[in-house]
Amino acid sequence: MNSKNLKKKRYAVYGLMEFMLRLPTPTGGVDIHFTGGQMSGYGVIPSQYETSDPILIRMIEATPEFKTGKITVL
């Protein structure tokens, strides 16, 4: 698959400056770090993570955190 055809997806967790999601794998797990969150008198910037890896996208979107809305797509 050509990497130019892959679309990036950006995920967000509102209300947190950082968030770590552990995705289980047969060999242990993959840690996904959401970073860059900010809260100020001017507004809220959620912690974010961006990927174009279709396997990671499927794994993130299968988590309870995504299904309940804690993790959202920007």
**What is the pTM for the complete model shown?**
0.85
Decide if 11 contacts 74 (C-beta within 8 A): yes
pLDDT at 6 over 90: no
What would the pLDDT profile of 7-52 be if each residue is shown by its tens digit?
A: 899 999 999 999 999 999 899 899 999 999 998 888 989 999 999 9
pLDDT at 3 over 60: no
Helices (H) and strands (E) in the chain, counts: 2, 7
- For residue 2, the model assigns a pLDDT of 56
| Alpha carbon distances (Å) from 3 to 6, 9, 50, 52, 53 | 5, 14, 15, 9, 9
